[in-house]
Amino acid sequence: MDRTLFDILNHVNEGIIITDDQLNIIFWNTQMEFLTNIKQEEAIGFNLYVKLPNINKNYFRESINSVIEKDYKYFFSSSIHEGLISDTREVNVRVNGFEIDNSKYVIIECIDVTNQILRINQLKKYSNELYLLNKQLREKEKEIEKLAYYDHLTGLANRTLFYNMADKFLEEAKRNGSKLGLMFIDIDHFKRINDMYGHKVGDQVLVEVANLLGKSTRKYDIISRHGGDEFLILLPNIKHYSNYRIVASRISNANRKIIVSENVEVHISLSIGVSFYPKDGNTINELISKADKAMYCAKNRGGNGCIQYLAR
């Protein structure tokens, strides 16, 4: 073959192997020396499979035969076929055949993609790190949102979230001409519980009351810890003012016994006041104020009861 062509191929930035139809190596360029640490003089004249035993596999031999006999072309990706040419570099392999003066030859191009693979892996790593960072940021945002809108002890809506949602339901009630109920709930003798058993038990009582209210209300009712031992429940879309009694009855019939320790139980009682839009007020603050007054009426009657606000 032309010596000038060989000289040119020695300067190509990819490994080039040329064999005859018996797979004896007749050309091995300098880039192949770099990829394999095998010198030209150590490769030329030897069989391809002797110098590159890693390619001596059934699928590769069949491919080579198809190149010689049928003029097929093949490409072997380093990501799928690792270590065909080098154990230390990532090399894509392209196999073609050609013919000169009725003699058939095989040309094997070995493209070093190590740097590209490294960059791709770095990008994957950076993408994974970015994904994890975004995930952490989303989790932090949820934590911040929870701190901003939910009571840290009971997990109920705090005042900010309650007012946001209550205002929306109130506007909807005004548009639709529907009724809205509001329950103001206070734990009877809560100070006595704190003084007798300590604030840890007091916190336990608050959590249990929050759970009790959650189980006693409808899924679209809004429950909020208003502060201290006070809770609010918003009852949207009630058809009749008397509908609040269904929720009040569930609260009254709920188990109010809390096990403090093996020998100590705390029995909870609740005083509840109820007000309604539109008959008791046009703003959430008016409804809270009226329900608060009704709740104190319940307390003055001994507690453990529910009273609807009545204008005097």
For 195-251, what is each residue's pLDDT tens digit?
988 888 899 999 999 999 999 999 889 999 999 999 999 999 898 888 899 999 999
Please tell me the predicted confidence (pLDDT) of residue 133.
81
User: Which region holds residue 189: left if phi is over 0, alpha if psi is between -120 and 50, else beta?
Assistant: left
Residue segments in the chain with a per-residue pLDDT below the cut of 70: 1-3, 5, 143-147, 261-262, 311-312
- Scanning the chain, the segments in alpha helix (DSSP H) are 3-9, 30-36, 40-43, 48-51, 58-70, 114-149, 159-176, 190-197, 199-216, 244-253, 284-300
The pTM score is 0.58
Identify the CA nearest to 221 among candidates 188, 246, 204, 203: 246
Sign of the dihedral defined by the CA atoms of residues 196, 201, 205, 206, in that order: positive
Please tell me the predicted confidence (pLDDT) of residue 108.
94
What are all long-range contacts of 244-249, with beta carbons under 8 Å and residues at least 24 apart? 244/181, 244/183, 244/274, 244/276, 244/308, 245/306, 247/183, 247/216, 247/217, 247/218, 247/221, 248/183, 248/272, 248/274, 248/306
* Cβ–Cβ under 8 Å, residues 192 and 285: no
Q: Indicate the SS3 state at residue 100.
A: strand
Q: Which two tokens stand for residue 61?
A: 């031999």
CATH of 3-112, one of 3.10.450.50, 3.30.450.20, 3.40.1390.20, 3.40.50.970: 3.30.450.20
Strand partners, 91: 112
Q: Which two tokens stand for residue 215?
A: 């189980």
Name the architecture of domain 150-308.
Answer: 2-Layer Sandwich (3.30)
Q: Indicate the SS3 state at residue 239.
A: coil
Please tell me the predicted confidence (pLDDT) of residue 136.
82
- The residue assigned the tokens 């929870």 is 146
- In the chain, list all ranges with CATH 3.30.70.270: 150-308
Residue type, position 238, single letter = I
Identify the CA nearest to 20 among candidates 76, 72, 97: 97
* Cβ–Cβ under 8 Å, residues 187 and 205: yes
| 12 phi/psi in degrees, rounded to 5 | -75, 140
236 Cβ contact partners less than 8 Å away, ≥ 6 residues apart: 169, 172, 173, 178, 180, 220, 221, 222
From the number of C-beta atoms within 10 Å of its C-beta (0-12, 13-18, 19+), residue 121 rates as: exposed
The span from the CA of 296 to the CA of 119, in Å, is 71
- The residue assigned the tokens 């000169």 is 100
Identify the CA nearest to 84 among candidates 43, 32, 131: 32
User: Is the preceding peptide bond at 53 cis, omega within 30 degrees of 0?
Assistant: no
- In the chain, list all ranges with CATH 3.30.450.20: 3-112
The span from the CA of 153 to the CA of 62, in Å, is 71
| 204 phi/psi in degrees, rounded to 5 | -60, -40
